[in-house]
């Protein structure tokens, strides 16, 4: 059933699956690739919102996606774990031999990492930071963890600031409001010029070159590779910065930004048709409900019979309930991350994660509902000559049903909420608005996902209340 | 003539000896009241008779058959059991509660698990083991209106609920009826009325009844025979008149005097 669902999104003809890194520039570049391919008549599936480098690369290597834009420095340092840069051709052949992936010719701009500060602190180079240990550093989570990230940088420059971690999309807001004094940035970030921020010069040339390239599976057909190569040497650093700024401040969608650029450069000549966002919205709700309820139904199928088996075995049941409780304490985003190496990206790992979350409330309420049946009634059942199965069928089960239904309702509501996070591993649903909105620092888009998700939770809560009232034993209803 | 024989019954709860070598021959078609203080072993003895408790040693014989603990359910269908607080199933209607023993025994016999022959005049069950006219007869007999059949237990008063519990215990027309403090939570008038019903019952159905009660005046009003227990031992077993006129020991004398004066 899970497999059916996971594959039902793909059709028989060749579909090129384009991934995107989870930030403004990633969306714009991936949208360009998609539109170039669509202009040539290829079918494209956009698998945007794939989190950071790790999620994207795992997806590429496991053939969950065929292509996504990446940066040479990131490939060398993060993926190949090299200490120095390689020339382009050498990098391509190493990737091809070792990992079965390739890179296209660079798009033309270098989006290096750097550090950025407010003009008021009057610093020019990264070395200047050394003399200001009291400045507050707020660093993106990815940069904190990277090999070419904060630790190595601080060591090279002898920096003593203790950074706090935060989401890259929110770091500029914090910087502008002076809540932090310095953060990491991509040199093409749209926020820099608009807010007159100062990019610190990398005076010890710590950072490698981060040239944007298409990162794709070596199995991709030549005719497709030829199409995406049209982006080679076509985007300058300032053009990229402007596009990023337009996405953040110009209130333009990245589809339109990508399209206008491609038209202007005469790479394609088809004007982008704004897709029907109503239909898109509905399909996201449908995806969301499919994720939630597939996981819920599977959890019911597993947890209710397990509860029936467990309730009279108190020792084993305590152990199993404890394990199910532990699962519940794993942060959702961590559980989703664990799913990627096991199940790849998309609906399947999300459903597995949601299934694991739904197990506990249903299992616990099944066990407790059955255990809490009045012992006098159990004694009477035995005295009437009922077998164990008959006592369960005629007495214990019907009296436990309301409690079990409450457990299912709790699981459903938890799942509706947690399913928003499934967008981080490309499972779709309302979470896509939230994840995209976070990346673009676009509150309106975040709310477009968050409010319907909250309403959905309320509606499900209400529907279950009605079901529970209907299923309540008649004696409790009539009073 | 005896219906229920308890022979050398002992039962331990852990280290606690709840019944100590108890042997009693309960008279056929008689009402026997088991009296004694709390913790004297009254309920343990009663539950041993329908096999809810398997004794540590000794045996129970009902109508000439020793209890077979590996196949106890046919035995339980021959014994009605009424508990304090009635133990009606709240999710079932009055009629469903009363006829449930019929449904259960029918399911078990039709599964080939047991051959169950209900005594003549018992539930003439149809294919489901449920006989609405039997339910109706029992309701009428215990003084409840037929319309109560579709009500739920919680819609009834405590006395009415206890009558329903008695109907349920009688559904399969068992030769033996066990009652554990059946009237303890009822008011005096309801209790008197039910005492009358019990005496009628015995006459109509030729029942052997064993009633556990802590209320000595109830026991002397209702019972033919009295069994006095203390610390799991039989203090005295005899006819009501005999026990009242000749208490076997100071304990029995004190127990009777404390309640009857």
- In this structure, are A82 and A167 located in the same domain? no
**Which run of H or E residues covers position A448?**
helix A443-471
CB A385 to CB B73 under 8 A? Answer: yes
Is A384 within 8 Å of B104 when comparing Cβ atoms? Answer: yes
* CA distance linking residue B177 with residue B138, whole number of Å: 15
Residues 6 or more apart in contact with residue B234 via CB below 8 angstroms:
B22, B23, B24, B227, B228
Total Cβ atoms within 10 A of residue B157 = 11
Domain co-membership, B126 together with B207: no
Are A380 and A417 found together in one domain?
A: yes
Which residues in chain B are closer than 8 Å to A373, comparing Cβ atoms?
none
Partner-chain residue, chosen from A376, A385, A475, that has the shortest CB–CB distance to B91? A475
Q: Do the beta carbons of residue B154 and residue B90 sit within 8 Å?
A: yes
- Kindly determine whether residue A473 and residue B155, on different chains, have CB atoms separated by under 8 Å: no
Is A271 within the bounds of a domain? no
How far is A159 from A153, CA to CA, in rounded Å?
8
- For residue B17, give the CATH number of its domain: 3.40.50.300
Are A255 and A221 members of one domain?
Answer: yes
Helix A431-440 / helix A24-39 crossing angle, nearest 10 deg: 120
Rg (CA), chain B: 18
Same domain? For A333 and A427 the reply is yes
SS3 A400: helix
Residue A469: other Cβ atoms inside 10 A: 12
Looking at A158, A179, A199, which one is the last position of a domain? A199
pLDDT at A336: 81
HSE-CB at B258 with a 13 A cutoff on CA atoms is 12
Q: Is residue B59 part of a domain?
A: yes
Contact between residue A171 and residue A141 where contact means Cβ atoms under 8 Å apart: no
Residue B38: count of CB within 10 angstroms of its CB: 7
- Kindly determine whether residue A385 and residue B85, on different chains, have CB atoms separated by under 8 Å: no
Structure pTM?
A: 0.73
Residue that terminates a domain, selected from B118, B152, B174: B174
| B91 interfaces chain A, CB cutoff of 8 Å | yes
Residue B85 inside a domain? The answer is: no
**Is the CB of A376 less than 8 angstroms away from the CB of B85?**
yes
B225 with B166, same domain?
A: no
Same domain, A128 and A250: no
Mutate to test the interface with A, among B91, B151, B153, B155 (most CBs of A within 10 A): B91
Nearest-by-CA chain A residue for B50: A383
| Domain co-membership, B126 together with B158 | yes
For residue B101, the chain A residues in CB contact (below 8 A) are 384-385
End-to-end CA distance of chain A: 42
Is A24 part of any domain?
Answer: yes
| Test the A interface: residue of B87, B107, B212 with most A CBs within 10 Å | B87
Mutant choice from A370, A383, A477 vs B, greatest count of B C-beta within 10 A: A383
> Would the CB atoms of B76 and A380 count as touching at under 8 Å?
no
Question: Does residue A336 fall inside a structural domain?
Answer: yes
A124 and A154 assigned to the same domain: yes
Contact criterion met (CB < 8 Å) for B152 and A376: no
Write down which residue in B146, B174, B202 finishes a domain: B174
**B85 vs A: CB within 8 A:** yes
Nearest CA in chain A to B93: A475
Q: Nearest CA of chain B to the CA of A445: how many Å?
A: 49
Please report residues of A whose CB lies closer than 8 A to that of B50.
Answer: 383
Do B182 and B170 fall into the same domain?
A: no
Residue at A168 is within a domain: yes
Question: Is A259 in the same domain as A294?
Answer: no
Which CA distances in Å does A270 have to A35, A168, A258, A273?
Answer: 9, 33, 12, 9
Q: Number of structural domains, chain B?
A: 2
Residues A387, A423 within the same domain: yes
B20 and B74 together in one domain: yes
Closest CA relative to residue B219, chosen from B170, B259, B175: B259
Give the phi and the psi of residue B22 in degrees, each rounded to 5.
-90, 125
Closest CA to B76 of A380, A376, A391: A380
Residues A116, A241 contacting (CB under 8 angstroms): no
Dmax over CA atoms of chain A, in Å, equals 89
Q: Which of A376, A379, A475 sits opposite B154 (nearest CB)?
A: A475
The residue segments making up the domain with residue A150 are 113-199
Residue A87's contacts (CB-CB under 8 Å, 6 or more residues apart) are none
Say what the pLDDT of residue A272 is. Answer: 77
SS3 A18: strand
Query: For residue B93, which residues of chain A lie inside 8 Å, CB to CB?
Result: 474
Residue A275: predicted pLDDT? 60
Within 8 A of A390 by CB-CB distance, chain B residues are 104, 107-108
Reduce the DSSP state of residue A223 to 3 states and report it: helix
Which residues in chain A are contacts of B91 at CB distance < 8 A? Answer: 398-399, 473-475
**Strand spans (E) along A173-324:** 182-186, 198-199, 212-217
> Can you state the percent helix, strand and coil of chain B, rounding each to 5?
40, 25, 35
**Least CA distance to B72: which residue of chain A?**
A385
Closest alpha carbon within chain A to B75 = A385
B139 shares its domain with B116: yes
Q: Which of residues 23-52 of B touch A (CB under 8 A)?
A: 50, 52
φ, ψ dihedrals at A438, nearest 5°? -65, -45
Minimal CA–CA distance to B180: which of B89, B81, B60, B107? Answer: B81
The answer to whether B95 touches B128, Cβ cutoff 8 Å, is: no
CA distance B71 to chain A (A): 10
Paired tokens of A117: 């500060």
Residue B139 lies in a domain: yes
Please report how many Cα atoms fall inside a 13 Å half-sphere around the Cα of residue A109, on the Cβ side: 21
Number of domains in chain A: 3
With an 8 Å Cβ cutoff, the interface of chain A facing chain B consists of: 376-377, 379-380, 382-387, 390, 394-395, 398-399, 473-476, 478-479
Q: Which of B91, B100, B153 sits opposite A384 (nearest CB)?
A: B100
> Structural domain of residue B133, as residue ranges?
90-174
Of A376, A369, A364, the closest CA to residue A396 belongs to: A369
Query: CB contact, 8 Å: B77 with chain A?
Result: yes
By Cβ distance, the residue of A383, A398, A479 closest to B91 is A398
Is residue B134 within 8 angstroms of chain A, CB to CB? no
Q: How far is CA A455 from the centre of its chain?
A: 21
pLDDT score at A278: 60
pLDDT tens-place values along chain A, 479 residues long: 444 444 444 444 678 999 998 888 999 999 999 999 998 888 898 888 777 787 888 889 888 899 999 999 889 888 888 887 788 888 999 999 999 999 999 999 999 888 999 888 888 899 999 988 888 999 988 888 877 789 999 999 999 888 998 887 788 888 988 889 999 998 898 888 888 899 998 998 888 888 999 999 998 888 889 998 999 999 998 899 999 988 888 778 888 999 999 999 888 888 877 665 566 888 889 999 999 999 999 999 999 999 999 988 878 888 888 888 888 888 887 888 788 778 877 889 899 999 999 999 999 999 999 999 999 999 999 999 898 889 999 999 999 998 999 999 999 999 999 999 888 887 888 988 888 887 777 788 889 999 999 999 999 999 988 888 887 655 555 44
| Contact predicate B4/B59, CB 8 Å | no
Inside any domain, residue A96: yes
Cα(A276)–Cα(B22) distance, integer angstroms: 86
Contact (CB, 8 A) for A46 and A253: no
B226 beta partners: B33, B238
Across the interface, which of B83, B152, B153 has its CB nearest the CB of A380?
B83
Chain B (107-126) residues lying within 8 Å, Cβ to Cβ, of chain A = 107-108
Contact between A383 and B76 using a beta-carbon 8 Å cutoff: yes
- Whether A385 and B83 lie within 8 Å, measured CB to CB: no
Inside any domain, residue B95: yes
Residue B208 inside a domain? The answer is yes
CA distance A434 to A418: 12
B72: which chain A residues are within 8 Å (Cβ-Cβ)? Answer: 385
Q: Check if B127 contacts A (Cβ < 8 Å).
A: no
Model ipTM value: 0.88
**What's the pLDDT score for residue A427?**
83
Write down the pLDDT at residue B16.
Answer: 85
How far is A365 from chain B, CA to nearest CA, in Å?
19
CB–CB contacts below 8 A, A to B: 68
Domain with A177 in it: what CATH number?
Answer: 3.40.190.120
Across the interface, whether the CB atoms of A474 and B152 are under 8 A apart is answered yes
* Per-10-residue mean pLDDT, chain B, length 261: 87 87 91 90 92 91 86 88 89 94 84 42 56 90 91 91 93 93 86 89 88 90 92 92 91 85 64
User: Considering the domain boundaries, does residue B166 fall inside one?
Assistant: yes
């Amino acid at each position: 059933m899970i497999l059916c669902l996971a594959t039902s999104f793909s059709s028989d003809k060749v579909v090129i699956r384009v991934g995107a890194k989870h930030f403004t520039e990633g969306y714009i570049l991936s949208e360009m690739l998609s539109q170039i391919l669509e202009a040539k008549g290829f079918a494209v599936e956009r698998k945007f919102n794939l989190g950071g480098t790790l999620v994207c690369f795992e997806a590429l290597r496991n053939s969950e996606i065929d292509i996504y834009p990446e940066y040479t420095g990131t490939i060398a340092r993060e993926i190949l774990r090299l200490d120095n840069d390689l020339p382009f051709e050498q990098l391509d052949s190493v990737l091809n031999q070792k990992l079965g992936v390739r890179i296209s010719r660079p798009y033309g701009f270098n989006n290096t990492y750097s550090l950025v500060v407010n003009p008021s602190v009057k610093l020019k180079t990264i070395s200047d930071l050394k003399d200001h240990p009291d400045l507050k550093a707020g660093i993106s989570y990815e940069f904190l963890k990277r090999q070419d990230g904060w630790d190595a940088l601080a060591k090279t420059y002898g920096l003593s600031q203790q950074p706090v971690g935060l989401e890259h999309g929110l770091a500029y807001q914090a910087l502008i409001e002076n809540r932090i004094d310095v953060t990491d940035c991509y040199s093409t970030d749209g926020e820099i010029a608009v807010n007159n921020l100062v990019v610190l010069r990398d005076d010890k040339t710590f950072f490698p070159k981060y040239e944007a390239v298409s990162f794709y599976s070596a199995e991709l057909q030549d005719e497709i590779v030829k199409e995406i190569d049209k982006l080679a040497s076509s985007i300058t650093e300032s053009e990229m910065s402007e596009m990023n700024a337009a996405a953040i401040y110009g209130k333009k969608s990245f589809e339109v930004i990508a399209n206008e650029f491609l038209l202007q450069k005469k790479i394609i000549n088809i004007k982008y048709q704004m897709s029907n966002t109503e239909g898109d919205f509905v399909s996201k709700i449908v995806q969301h409900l499919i994720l939630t309820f597939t996981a819920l139904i599977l959890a019911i199928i597993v947890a209710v019979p397990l509860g029936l088996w467990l309730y009279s075995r108190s020792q084993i049941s305590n152990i199993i309930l404890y394990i199910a409780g532990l699962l519940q304490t794993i942060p959702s985003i961590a559980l989703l991350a664990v799913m990627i190496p096991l199940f790849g990206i998309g609906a399947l790992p999300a459903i597995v994660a949601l299934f694991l979350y739904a197990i506990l409330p249903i299992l616990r309420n099944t066990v407790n509902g059955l255990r809490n049946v009045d012992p006098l009634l159990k004694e009477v059942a035995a005295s009437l000559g009922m077998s164990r199965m008959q006592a369960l069928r005629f007495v214990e089960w019907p009296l436990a049903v309301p409690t079990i239904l409450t457990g299912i309702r709790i699981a459903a509501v938890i799942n509706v909420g947690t399913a928003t996070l499934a967008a981080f591993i490309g499972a779709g649903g309302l979470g896509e608005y939230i994840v995209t909105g976070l990346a673009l620092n676009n509150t309106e888009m975040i709310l477009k996902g968050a409010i319907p998700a909250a309403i959905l939770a309320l509606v499900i809560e209400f529907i279950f209340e009605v079901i529970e009232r209907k299923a309540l034993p008649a004696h409790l209803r009539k009073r | 003539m005896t219906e229920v024989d308890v022979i050398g019954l002992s039962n331990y709860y852990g280290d606690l000896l709840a019944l100590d070598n108890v042997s009693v021959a309960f008279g056929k078609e008689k009402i026997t009241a088991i009296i004694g203080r709390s913790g004297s072993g009254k309920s343990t003895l009663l539950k041993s008779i329908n096999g809810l408790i398997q004794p540590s040693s000794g045996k129970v014989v009902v109508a000439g058959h020793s209890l077979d603990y590996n196949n106890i359910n046919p035995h339980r269908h021959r014994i009605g059991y009424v508990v304090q607080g009635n133990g009606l199933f709240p999710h079932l209607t009055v009629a469903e509660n009363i006829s449930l023993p019929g449904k259960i025994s029918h399911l078990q016999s039709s599964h080939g698990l047991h051959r169950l022959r209900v005594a003549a005049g018992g539930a003439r069950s149809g294919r489901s083991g449920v006989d609405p006219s039997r339910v109706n007869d029992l309701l009428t007999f215990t003084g409840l209106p037929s319309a109560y059949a579709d009500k739920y237990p919680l819609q009834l008063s405590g006395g009415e609920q206890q009558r329903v519990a008695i109907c349920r215990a009688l559904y399969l027309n068992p030769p033996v009826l066990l009652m554990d403090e059946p009237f303890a939570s009822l008011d005096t008038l309801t209790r008197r009325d039910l005492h009358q019903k019990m005496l009628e019952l015995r006459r109509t159905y030729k029942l052997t009844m064993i009633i556990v009660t802590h209320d000595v005046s109830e026991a002397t009003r209702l019972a033919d025979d009295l069994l006095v227990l203390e610390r799991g031992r039989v203090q005295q077993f005899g006819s009501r008149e005999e026990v009242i006129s000749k208490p076997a020991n100071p304990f029995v004398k004190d127990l009777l005097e404390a309640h009857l004066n």
